[in-house]
Structure 1
Amino acid sequence: MHEQLIVPWALHRILHDVQRCIDAKLYYPALIICLTIPEICAALTLTKEKFVKQKHYVEFVDKYTIPSQLGCDGLDCYRLRGGVVHRASFSGHPHFDASHIIFTTPETRASIHALSIVVGEKKAAIFDILMFCSAMNQAARRWFQDNKDNKLVEENLQNLIRDCPGGLPPFIGGAPVVASGL
Protein backbone atom coordinates (compact mmCIF):
# COMPACT_ATOMS: atom_id res chain seq x y z
CA MET A 1 0.00 0.00 0.00
CA HIS A 2 1.29 3.46 -0.92
CA GLU A 3 1.73 6.16 1.66
CA GLN A 4 -0.97 8.76 1.01
CA LEU A 5 0.82 12.09 1.05
CA ILE A 6 -1.49 15.01 1.79
CA VAL A 7 -2.38 17.41 -1.02
CA PRO A 8 -4.55 20.54 -0.90
CA TRP A 9 -8.28 20.16 -1.47
CA ALA A 10 -8.17 21.64 -5.01
CA LEU A 11 -5.67 19.03 -6.18
CA HIS A 12 -7.29 16.27 -4.13
CA ARG A 13 -10.59 16.80 -5.99
CA ILE A 14 -8.90 16.20 -9.33
CA LEU A 15 -7.13 13.07 -8.07
CA HIS A 16 -10.34 11.84 -6.43
CA ASP A 17 -12.22 12.25 -9.73
CA VAL A 18 -9.86 9.69 -11.26
CA GLN A 19 -10.94 7.14 -8.67
CA ARG A 20 -14.59 8.06 -9.15
CA CYS A 21 -14.20 7.46 -12.89
CA ILE A 22 -12.57 4.08 -12.30
CA ASP A 23 -15.29 3.08 -9.83
CA ALA A 24 -17.87 3.97 -12.50
CA LYS A 25 -15.88 2.05 -15.15
CA LEU A 26 -15.27 5.30 -17.05
CA TYR A 27 -11.72 4.43 -18.01
CA TYR A 28 -11.23 6.90 -20.85
CA PRO A 29 -11.97 9.97 -18.66
CA ALA A 30 -9.80 8.49 -15.89
CA LEU A 31 -6.88 8.16 -18.30
CA ILE A 32 -7.36 11.66 -19.70
CA ILE A 33 -7.21 13.11 -16.21
CA CYS A 34 -4.15 11.01 -15.32
CA LEU A 35 -2.36 11.95 -18.51
CA THR A 36 -2.92 15.64 -17.75
CA ILE A 37 -1.75 15.50 -14.11
CA PRO A 38 1.85 16.33 -15.12
CA GLU A 39 0.57 19.37 -17.01
CA ILE A 40 -1.63 20.50 -14.13
CA CYS A 41 1.21 20.27 -11.64
CA ALA A 42 3.76 21.88 -13.96
CA ALA A 43 1.33 24.71 -14.75
CA LEU A 44 0.92 25.44 -11.04
CA THR A 45 4.59 26.43 -10.95
CA LEU A 46 4.28 28.83 -13.90
CA THR A 47 2.83 32.29 -14.29
CA LYS A 48 -0.35 32.57 -16.33
CA GLU A 49 1.62 33.92 -19.30
CA LYS A 50 3.70 30.75 -19.64
CA PHE A 51 2.51 27.49 -21.12
CA VAL A 52 3.47 23.96 -20.16
CA LYS A 53 5.79 22.46 -22.77
CA GLN A 54 6.95 18.93 -23.50
CA LYS A 55 10.06 19.62 -21.42
CA HIS A 56 7.99 20.38 -18.30
CA TYR A 57 5.80 17.31 -18.78
CA VAL A 58 8.70 14.92 -19.31
CA GLU A 59 10.64 16.34 -16.35
CA PHE A 60 7.61 15.88 -14.07
CA VAL A 61 7.05 12.27 -15.11
CA ASP A 62 10.74 11.36 -14.92
CA LYS A 63 11.18 12.99 -11.51
CA TYR A 64 7.97 12.05 -9.72
CA THR A 65 6.87 8.70 -11.11
CA ILE A 66 8.47 5.35 -10.58
CA PRO A 67 8.95 3.87 -14.08
CA SER A 68 8.08 0.32 -13.06
CA GLN A 69 4.83 1.57 -11.50
CA LEU A 70 3.87 3.91 -14.36
CA GLY A 71 5.08 1.53 -17.07
CA CYS A 72 6.84 4.11 -19.25
CA ASP A 73 9.22 7.05 -19.11
CA GLY A 74 8.37 10.73 -19.40
CA LEU A 75 8.74 11.02 -23.16
CA ASP A 76 6.59 7.98 -23.92
CA CYS A 77 4.00 9.19 -21.42
CA TYR A 78 3.97 12.59 -23.16
CA ARG A 79 3.45 10.87 -26.50
CA LEU A 80 0.71 8.68 -25.04
CA ARG A 81 -0.96 11.82 -23.69
CA GLY A 82 -0.75 13.51 -27.08
CA GLY A 83 -2.43 10.60 -28.80
CA VAL A 84 -5.21 10.33 -26.23
CA VAL A 85 -5.93 14.03 -25.72
CA HIS A 86 -5.63 15.17 -29.33
CA ARG A 87 -6.72 12.12 -31.31
CA ALA A 88 -8.62 9.89 -28.87
CA SER A 89 -6.13 7.20 -29.81
CA PHE A 90 -3.64 5.71 -27.40
CA SER A 91 -1.17 5.16 -30.22
CA GLY A 92 -2.10 8.36 -32.04
CA HIS A 93 1.24 10.13 -31.57
CA PRO A 94 3.44 9.58 -34.63
CA HIS A 95 6.52 8.89 -32.52
CA PHE A 96 4.99 6.46 -30.01
CA ASP A 97 6.68 3.11 -30.54
CA ALA A 98 3.58 0.90 -30.66
CA SER A 99 0.80 0.34 -33.13
CA HIS A 100 -1.59 -0.65 -30.33
CA ILE A 101 -1.97 0.38 -26.69
CA ILE A 102 -3.91 -1.83 -24.33
CA PHE A 103 -4.97 -1.02 -20.78
CA THR A 104 -6.10 -3.93 -18.66
CA THR A 105 -9.03 -3.06 -16.39
CA PRO A 106 -10.36 -4.66 -13.21
CA GLU A 107 -12.73 -6.66 -15.43
CA THR A 108 -9.78 -8.14 -17.32
CA ARG A 109 -9.12 -10.28 -14.22
CA ALA A 110 -5.42 -10.19 -14.99
CA SER A 111 -3.07 -7.33 -14.41
CA ILE A 112 -0.58 -6.97 -17.23
CA HIS A 113 1.63 -3.92 -16.92
CA ALA A 114 4.64 -2.45 -18.70
CA LEU A 115 4.80 -5.21 -21.27
CA SER A 116 5.11 -5.09 -25.05
CA ILE A 117 4.00 -7.84 -27.40
CA VAL A 118 5.13 -7.97 -31.03
CA VAL A 119 3.10 -9.91 -33.58
CA GLY A 120 4.48 -9.58 -37.08
CA GLU A 121 4.87 -5.88 -37.75
CA LYS A 122 2.44 -4.86 -35.02
CA LYS A 123 3.47 -3.97 -31.49
CA ALA A 124 1.15 -3.62 -28.50
CA ALA A 125 2.20 -1.78 -25.36
CA ILE A 126 0.19 -3.05 -22.39
CA PHE A 127 -0.50 -1.22 -19.14
CA ASP A 128 -2.74 -1.87 -16.17
CA ILE A 129 -5.10 1.06 -15.69
CA LEU A 130 -5.13 0.78 -11.89
CA MET A 131 -1.34 0.74 -11.66
CA PHE A 132 -0.96 3.56 -14.18
CA CYS A 133 -3.50 5.81 -12.45
CA SER A 134 -2.09 5.02 -9.01
CA ALA A 135 1.40 5.93 -10.20
CA MET A 136 0.16 9.33 -11.44
CA ASN A 137 -1.74 9.94 -8.23
CA GLN A 138 1.36 9.24 -6.17
CA ALA A 139 3.48 11.40 -8.49
CA ALA A 140 1.17 14.38 -7.92
CA ARG A 141 1.41 13.83 -4.17
CA ARG A 142 5.23 13.64 -4.26
CA TRP A 143 5.34 16.73 -6.46
CA PHE A 144 3.21 18.66 -3.99
CA GLN A 145 5.50 17.73 -1.10
CA ASP A 146 8.36 19.33 -3.06
CA ASN A 147 6.28 22.41 -3.97
CA LYS A 148 3.99 23.01 -0.99
CA ASP A 149 5.97 26.09 0.10
CA ASN A 150 6.07 27.62 -3.39
CA LYS A 151 4.02 30.85 -3.21
CA LEU A 152 3.16 30.71 -6.93
CA VAL A 153 1.80 27.17 -6.52
CA GLU A 154 -0.23 28.29 -3.51
CA GLU A 155 -1.66 31.20 -5.52
CA ASN A 156 -2.36 29.11 -8.63
CA LEU A 157 -4.11 26.35 -6.66
CA GLN A 158 -6.93 28.81 -6.03
CA ASN A 159 -7.69 28.81 -9.77
CA LEU A 160 -8.06 25.05 -10.28
CA ILE A 161 -11.35 23.62 -11.48
CA ARG A 162 -13.59 22.85 -8.53
CA ASP A 163 -17.13 21.99 -7.51
CA CYS A 164 -19.12 25.01 -6.33
CA PRO A 165 -22.33 23.62 -4.79
CA GLY A 166 -23.80 27.11 -4.27
CA GLY A 167 -22.70 28.54 -7.61
CA LEU A 168 -19.96 31.07 -8.27
CA PRO A 169 -21.19 34.51 -7.21
CA PRO A 170 -21.58 37.08 -8.62
CA PHE A 171 -22.04 35.09 -11.85
CA ILE A 172 -24.30 32.21 -10.78
CA GLY A 173 -25.76 31.78 -7.32
CA GLY A 174 -27.82 29.08 -5.68
CA ALA A 175 -27.13 26.39 -8.29
CA PRO A 176 -24.29 23.88 -8.32
CA VAL A 177 -21.61 24.46 -10.97
CA VAL A 178 -18.09 23.37 -11.80
CA ALA A 179 -15.91 26.46 -12.08
CA SER A 180 -12.47 27.99 -11.84
CA GLY A 181 -11.17 31.42 -10.97
CA LEU A 182 -11.17 33.43 -7.79
Structure 2
Amino acid sequence: MLVHSFPPAITTHCRVLILGSMPGRRSLEMQQYYAHPQNLFWPFLETLFNIPATRPYQDRLALLNQQGVGLWDVLQECFRSGSLDGDIEETSIVANDFASLISQLPQLEHIFFNGAKAAQSFRRHVLKQQALPPHLQYYNLPSTSPANAAIKREDKLAQWQQLRTVMMH
Protein backbone atom coordinates (compact mmCIF):
# COMPACT_ATOMS: atom_id res chain seq x y z
CA MET A 1 0.00 0.00 0.00
CA LEU A 2 1.25 3.51 -0.79
CA VAL A 3 1.67 5.54 2.40
CA HIS A 4 2.43 9.24 2.86
CA SER A 5 4.02 11.04 5.78
CA PHE A 6 2.71 14.11 7.57
CA PRO A 7 3.77 17.73 7.10
CA PRO A 8 6.59 18.78 9.42
CA ALA A 9 5.60 19.76 12.96
CA ILE A 10 8.03 22.62 13.26
CA THR A 11 8.50 26.33 13.86
CA THR A 12 11.15 28.57 12.37
CA HIS A 13 13.06 28.79 15.67
CA CYS A 14 13.70 25.03 15.93
CA ARG A 15 17.28 24.10 16.75
CA VAL A 16 16.65 20.36 16.66
CA LEU A 17 14.78 18.14 14.23
CA ILE A 18 13.76 14.59 15.17
CA LEU A 19 13.20 12.37 12.15
CA GLY A 20 11.37 9.09 11.95
CA SER A 21 11.21 6.96 8.82
CA MET A 22 7.47 6.79 8.03
CA PRO A 23 4.52 6.82 10.45
CA GLY A 24 3.10 3.41 11.32
CA ARG A 25 -0.49 2.37 10.68
CA ARG A 26 -1.83 3.62 14.00
CA SER A 27 -0.16 7.01 13.55
CA LEU A 28 -1.51 7.31 10.01
CA GLU A 29 -5.02 6.40 11.17
CA MET A 30 -4.91 8.98 13.97
CA GLN A 31 -2.92 11.55 11.95
CA GLN A 32 -0.47 11.89 14.84
CA TYR A 33 3.24 11.31 15.17
CA TYR A 34 4.02 8.31 17.39
CA ALA A 35 0.38 7.47 18.15
CA HIS A 36 0.85 3.75 18.92
CA PRO A 37 0.16 3.36 22.66
CA GLN A 38 3.32 1.25 23.16
CA ASN A 39 5.61 3.67 21.33
CA LEU A 40 8.03 5.21 23.82
CA PHE A 41 8.46 8.55 22.02
CA TRP A 42 5.99 10.62 24.05
CA PRO A 43 6.85 8.94 27.39
CA PHE A 44 10.54 9.70 26.70
CA LEU A 45 9.73 13.34 25.93
CA GLU A 46 7.76 13.53 29.14
CA THR A 47 10.87 12.40 31.02
CA LEU A 48 13.28 14.62 29.06
CA PHE A 49 11.23 17.82 28.67
CA ASN A 50 8.32 17.47 31.09
CA ILE A 51 5.79 17.30 28.25
CA PRO A 52 2.96 15.18 29.70
CA ALA A 53 2.23 12.22 27.42
CA THR A 54 -1.42 12.47 28.51
CA ARG A 55 -1.87 16.01 27.16
CA PRO A 56 -3.83 16.39 23.90
CA TYR A 57 -1.69 15.77 20.83
CA GLN A 58 -1.70 19.38 19.56
CA ASP A 59 -0.63 20.60 23.02
CA ARG A 60 2.28 18.14 23.06
CA LEU A 61 3.40 19.32 19.61
CA ALA A 62 3.17 22.97 20.68
CA LEU A 63 5.16 22.31 23.87
CA LEU A 64 7.79 20.41 21.89
CA ASN A 65 8.08 23.24 19.36
CA GLN A 66 8.40 25.73 22.24
CA GLN A 67 11.46 23.75 23.35
CA GLY A 68 12.98 24.33 19.90
CA VAL A 69 12.34 20.79 18.68
CA GLY A 70 10.56 19.84 15.46
CA LEU A 71 9.29 16.52 14.08
CA TRP A 72 9.21 15.11 10.58
CA ASP A 73 9.89 11.93 8.66
CA VAL A 74 12.63 11.15 6.20
CA LEU A 75 10.21 9.56 3.75
CA GLN A 76 7.51 11.49 1.95
CA GLU A 77 5.99 8.33 0.53
CA CYS A 78 6.71 4.67 -0.01
CA PHE A 79 5.05 1.33 -0.55
CA ARG A 80 4.79 -0.63 2.69
CA SER A 81 2.86 -3.85 3.16
CA GLY A 82 2.57 -3.59 6.94
CA SER A 83 3.47 -1.11 9.65
CA LEU A 84 7.13 -1.94 10.16
CA ASP A 85 10.19 -0.29 8.65
CA GLY A 86 11.21 -3.70 7.37
CA ASP A 87 8.05 -3.76 5.23
CA ILE A 88 9.11 -0.65 3.25
CA GLU A 89 9.89 -1.37 -0.39
CA GLU A 90 13.25 0.32 -0.85
CA THR A 91 12.73 1.05 -4.55
CA SER A 92 9.49 2.94 -3.80
CA ILE A 93 11.02 5.49 -1.43
CA VAL A 94 10.53 9.19 -2.12
CA ALA A 95 12.31 11.39 0.41
CA ASN A 96 10.95 14.62 1.81
CA ASP A 97 12.44 17.91 0.59
CA PHE A 98 14.90 18.71 3.37
CA ALA A 99 16.86 21.29 1.38
CA SER A 100 13.75 23.52 1.20
CA LEU A 101 12.73 22.95 4.82
CA ILE A 102 16.19 23.52 6.26
CA SER A 103 16.62 26.72 4.27
CA GLN A 104 13.69 28.08 6.33
CA LEU A 105 15.22 27.04 9.67
CA PRO A 106 18.16 29.37 10.34
CA GLN A 107 18.71 28.06 13.89
CA LEU A 108 18.68 24.34 13.03
CA GLU A 109 21.88 22.67 14.20
CA HIS A 110 21.03 19.09 15.14
CA ILE A 111 19.17 16.23 13.49
CA PHE A 112 18.26 13.17 15.53
CA PHE A 113 17.15 9.93 13.88
CA ASN A 114 14.48 7.89 15.66
CA GLY A 115 15.77 4.48 14.62
CA ALA A 116 18.18 2.91 12.17
CA LYS A 117 15.81 3.00 9.18
CA ALA A 118 15.40 6.79 9.47
CA ALA A 119 19.18 7.28 9.60
CA GLN A 120 19.84 4.86 6.74
CA SER A 121 17.12 6.35 4.54
CA PHE A 122 18.35 9.90 5.21
CA ARG A 123 21.91 9.02 4.26
CA ARG A 124 20.81 7.10 1.18
CA HIS A 125 17.95 9.26 -0.14
CA VAL A 126 18.64 12.76 1.22
CA LEU A 127 22.35 13.37 1.79
CA LYS A 128 23.29 11.92 -1.59
CA GLN A 129 20.61 13.86 -3.48
CA GLN A 130 19.99 17.17 -1.69
CA ALA A 131 22.35 20.00 -0.82
CA LEU A 132 22.27 20.53 2.94
CA PRO A 133 24.27 22.94 5.10
CA PRO A 134 27.58 21.42 6.24
CA HIS A 135 27.22 22.59 9.89
CA LEU A 136 24.41 20.17 10.75
CA GLN A 137 25.21 17.49 13.32
CA TYR A 138 23.56 14.07 13.12
CA TYR A 139 22.73 11.65 15.93
CA ASN A 140 21.45 8.08 15.73
CA LEU A 141 19.01 7.05 18.45
CA PRO A 142 17.35 3.69 19.04
CA SER A 143 13.84 3.48 17.67
CA THR A 144 11.05 4.18 20.16
CA SER A 145 8.81 1.74 18.26
CA PRO A 146 7.40 -1.23 20.18
CA ALA A 147 8.91 -3.40 17.42
CA ASN A 148 12.37 -2.45 18.74
CA ALA A 149 12.22 -4.79 21.73
CA ALA A 150 15.88 -5.91 21.60
CA ILE A 151 17.00 -2.87 23.60
CA LYS A 152 15.72 -2.34 27.14
CA ARG A 153 13.62 0.75 27.79
CA GLU A 154 16.13 2.22 30.25
CA ASP A 155 18.98 1.73 27.77
CA LYS A 156 16.97 3.46 25.03
CA LEU A 157 16.14 6.34 27.36
CA ALA A 158 19.81 6.69 28.32
CA GLN A 159 20.67 7.18 24.65
CA TRP A 160 17.75 9.59 24.15
CA GLN A 161 19.28 11.76 26.93
CA GLN A 162 21.60 13.09 24.17
CA LEU A 163 18.62 15.12 22.98
CA ARG A 164 18.28 16.85 26.34
CA THR A 165 22.05 17.40 26.55
CA VAL A 166 22.08 19.13 23.16
CA MET A 167 19.11 21.30 24.12
CA MET A 168 20.84 22.45 27.33
CA HIS A 169 23.76 23.94 25.37
Higher helix share: 1
TM range (shorter): under 0.3
